[in-house]
C-alpha cells in the first residue's frame, strides 16, 4: 500500500544522455522521456503517435466542416476524401453540434494532442564558442527556449543549493558577466546531484581544456 502510494507520487525518472561527437563539443540532455527498447514499448509508442495524429486531424476536419456548413459554403472538398455519403453525414453531424460546445472541446482536444508528455532540457558546450542551454516547451510544434552564452562572458560555472518549495535542491548555474542573476541550467528539471556533478565536470573540462584536465587527474 505504502509502496504503491510512493510510486504514484514519485516524479518521472530522469535520464542523462551525453553526446560528444568531438572532444571539443559536448551536449548533455536530461529528459523524462521513457526509453523504449522492447518491441511492445516501441509498438505502443508508434501507435500512440498514430492515434494522436488521427485525433488531431479529425478534430481539424470537424472544425473545418462546421465552419463551411455554418457559413453556407460547399463542403465539396470532403467528398474527395470520404464518399458523398460520408460527406453528407459529417455535414449533418457538424450542423447538429452548436459552436459553444464544439469550439472549447475542439481546442481542448487539440491542446491534449499537442501535449509533449515529457520534459527535456539540455546543455551544449562548444569549446571556444560558449554554451547553450535549452528547455523544451510543454507543447509539440513550439520551439524550445534557448539561451546562448559566449565564452567571453562566462565567468564561472558551479553547483550550489537553494530553497525550492519545501525542499533544498542542488542546481547548476552559470555566472554571466554583467548580469545580476546567474543562469540556471536545467531550470525545470533540477536533476539530482550525481547527474549535475557529471555535467559540471564535463562542461568544465570542455570549456577550460587545460585546467579541466588538471583537475581530473588530481581527482584520480
Partner 1 sequence: MPYNIAMVSDNFYPQPGGVESHMYQLSSKLIDRGHKVIIITHAYEGRTGVRYLTNGLKVYHVPFWTIYRETTFPTVFSFFPIFRNIVIREEIEIVHGHASLSNLCNEAILHARTMGLRTAMTDHSLFGFADAGSILTNKLLKFTLSDVDHCICVSHTCKENTVLRASLDPSMVSVIPNAVVAENFRPLSHTEASHRHNAPGPPQRLGPDEIITIVVISRLFYNKGVDLLIASIPRILATNPNVRFLIAGNGPKAIDLEQMIERNVLQEKVLLLGPVRHEEVRDVMVQGHIYLHPSLTEAFGTVIVEAASCGLYVVCTRVGGIPEVLPSHMTEFAAPEEDDIVAVTGRAIVKLREGKVRTDLFHNQVKQMYSWTDVAERTERVYDGISGALSYEEFYPDGGTGLASRGRAGVRSFALIDRLKRYYGCGIWAGKLFCLCAVVDYLLYIFLEIFAPRERIDICKNWPKKVVKEGKGKEKEGDAATAKEEHGSGRKKRPHHRREKREEQGES
Give the residues lining the site for partner 1 (CB under 8 A). 2, 5-6, 9-11, 156-163, 166-168, 170, 192-194, 215, 218-219
Task: Give the total residue count for the chain.
Answer: 220
CB 61 within 8 A of CB 80: no
Q: How far is CA 179 from the centre of its chain?
A: 27
Q: For residue 113, which of 185, 54, 189, 174 has the smallest C-alpha distance?
A: 54
Find out whether 154 and 133 touch, Cβ atoms under 8 Å.
Answer: no
Q: How far is the CA of 138 from the CAs of 70, 111, 119, 142, 143, in angstroms?
A: 33, 10, 7, 8, 10
- Min dist CB 220 to partner 1, Å, is 12
Nearer to partner 1, 27 or 191 (CB): 191
Pick the closer one to partner 1 by CB: 5 or 72: 5
Minimum CB distance to partner 1, residue 219 (Å): 7
Report the residue number, 46 or 158, with the smaller CB distance to partner 1.
158
Q: CA 3 → CA 6, 8, 192, distances in Å?
A: 5, 9, 22
**Which residue in 174, 134, 173 sits closest to 154, CA to CA?**
174
- The minimum distance between CB 187 and partner 1, in angstroms, equals 16
Q: 65 or 133: whose CB is closer to partner 1?
A: 133
As measured in angstroms, the least distance from the Cβ of 173 to partner 1 is 9
Q: How far is the CB of 130 from partner 1 (least distance, A)?
A: 18
Complex with partner 1: residue 88 or 209, whichever CB lies closer: 209
DSSP letter for 13, please.
P
Pairing of strands 167-176, 154-164: antiparallel
Residue 70's H or E segment, with its range, is helix 39-70
- CB of residue 122 to partner 1, shortest distance in Å: 21
Minimum CB distance to partner 1 smaller for 56 or for 212: 212
Kindly give the interhelix angle for 193-207 and 209-219, rounded to the nearest 10 degrees: 130
Amino acid at each position: 500500500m505504502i509502496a504503491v502510494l510512493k510510486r504514484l507520487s514519485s516524479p518521472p525518472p530522469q535520464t542523462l544522455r551525453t553526446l560528444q561527437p568531438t572532444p571539443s563539443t559536448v551536449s548533455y540532455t536530461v529528459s523524462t522521456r521513457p526509453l523504449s527498447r522492447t518491441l511492445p514499448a516501441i509498438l505502443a509508442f508508434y501507435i500512440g503517435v498514430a492515434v494522436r495524429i488521427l485525433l488531431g486531424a479529425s478534430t481539424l476536419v470537424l472544425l473545418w466542416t462546421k465552419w463551411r456548413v455554418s457559413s453556407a459554403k460547399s463542403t465539396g472538398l470532403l467528398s474527395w476524401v470520404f464518399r458523398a455519403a460520408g460527406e453528407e453525414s459529417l455535414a449533418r453531424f457538424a450542423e447538429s453540434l452548436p459552436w459553444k460546445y464544439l469550439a472549447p472541446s475542439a481546442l481542448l482536444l487539440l491542446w491534449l494532442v499537442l501535449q509533449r508528455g515529457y520534459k527535456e532540457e539540455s546543455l551544449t558546450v562548444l569549446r571556444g564558442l560558449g554554451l547553450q542551454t535549452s528547455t523544451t516547451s510543454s507543447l509539440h510544434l513550439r520551439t524550445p527556449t534557448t539561451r546562448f552564452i559566449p565564452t567571453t562572458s562566462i565567468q564561472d560555472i558551479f553547483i550550489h543549493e537553494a530553497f525550492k518549495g519545501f525542499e533544498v535542491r542542488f542546481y547548476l548555474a552559470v555566472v554571466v558577466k554583467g548580469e545580476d542573476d546567474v543562469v540556471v541550467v536545467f531550470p525545470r528539471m533540477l536533476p539530482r546531484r550525481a547527474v549535475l556533478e557529471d555535467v559540471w565536470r564535463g562542461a568544465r573540462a570542455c570549456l577550460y581544456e587545460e585546467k579541466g584536465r588538471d583537475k581530473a587527474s588530481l581527482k584520480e
